[in-house]
Structure 1
Amino acid sequence: MGMFSEFKSFIARGNVVDLAVAVVIGAAFGKIVTALVDGLVMPIIALITGGTSVAAWKYVVTPAATDAAGKVITPEVAFKYGLVLQSAIDFVLIAFVIFLVLKAYNRLREPAPEAATPEDIVLLREIRDSLKTRSI
């Protein structure tokens, strides 16, 4: 079997195609959630915390040095923990929504519970089993 035909059979399997579709949909879904966080969640947090954007939160270690004309000679050194917090919120929201989607998907995939066996059938089976043990 040649390499091309082996590759063709590998690609033709459903798992590879399903995985590719899942990656593309996941990337698009991530953009939607990021837009939701940036457009709705973070402005609400900014209102609660005094109007500054969460992404702008930082701890300045060394402030920027400027000359007399206002030109930056050395940029500031800062820990931008607001960006980390915003990314963490993105991650938690994406993980939560994926959890909800998978939970709904698994609920749809579960087989319907079997109907209870009627009482007369149960009694007939007990009688049958009792007669089998007596005849031995």
Structure 2
Amino acid sequence: MSKKKDPGVWQGFKAFLMRGNVVDLAVAVVVGAAFTNIVNSVVKGVINPVVGAIGTKNLDHYASCLSSTCEGDQVIQIMWGSVLGATLQFLITAAVVYFLMVLPMAKFLARQEARKKAGEDTPEAPEATELEVLKQIRDELVAQRGSQYRGR
């Protein structure tokens, strides 16, 4: 038996990689990773100091104890500051994505759709057939000949 590569599998894999949605997904992951750094910097550099004006600059320090005392090794703490920080990061990320990406894209697509509908609504001039064009040329030539004979 000869070992033969199945061209269908490789071609299918190549087609899968070249699909637009796979490339778009890869770009989105890379941009998302870079965007995460920006959001983290905004939270650490802007949000945490604003919250720090009220209390501590690090939201992770906000916690509540379930035990009667908050001392010792057996302390049970609810770290609600970490949850608050993560929630703020999520809200900031969602707001930036919505206002800088989703909303402008939706407006752009709506304008394109409106232009497309406006283009479809305008009645196009019916194209003249070859026979009609030839009849018009004939009529023009006859009219020109008639005026030439009258002028003499």
Q: Which residue of 1 aligns with 2:141?
A: none
More strand by share: 1
The structure 1 residue matched to 2:64, chosen from 52, 59, 76, is 59
The residue type equivalent to 1:12 in the other structure is M
1:64 Cα shift?
4.1
Distance 1:38 1:75, change over 3 A: farther
Say whether 1:18 aligns with 2:24: yes
Normalising to structure 1: TM-score of the pair? 0.68
Using the alignment, how far apart are the partners of 1:23 and 1:42 within structure 2?
27
Q: Unaligned regions of 5+ residues in structure 2, if any?
A: 1-6, 124-152
The residue type equivalent to 2:41 in the other structure is A
Deviations 1:114-136 (A, max 9, x none): 38x9xxx9xxxxxxxxxxxxxxx
Q: Unaligned regions of 5+ residues in structure 1, if any?
A: 66-73, 122-136
1:36-115 aligned within 5 A:
36-47=42-53, 49-62=54-67, 63-65=70-72, 74=73, 76-100=75-99, 101-109=101-109, 110-111=111-112, 113=115, 114=118
Give yes or no for contact 2:66–2:77 (8 Å, CA) kept in 1: yes
Between 1 and 2, higher relative CO (CA 8 Å, sep ≥ 6) is seen in: 1
More helix by share: 2
Give yes or no for contact 1:33–1:90 (8 Å, CA) kept in 2: yes
Give yes or no for contact 1:64–1:77 (8 Å, CA) kept in 2: no
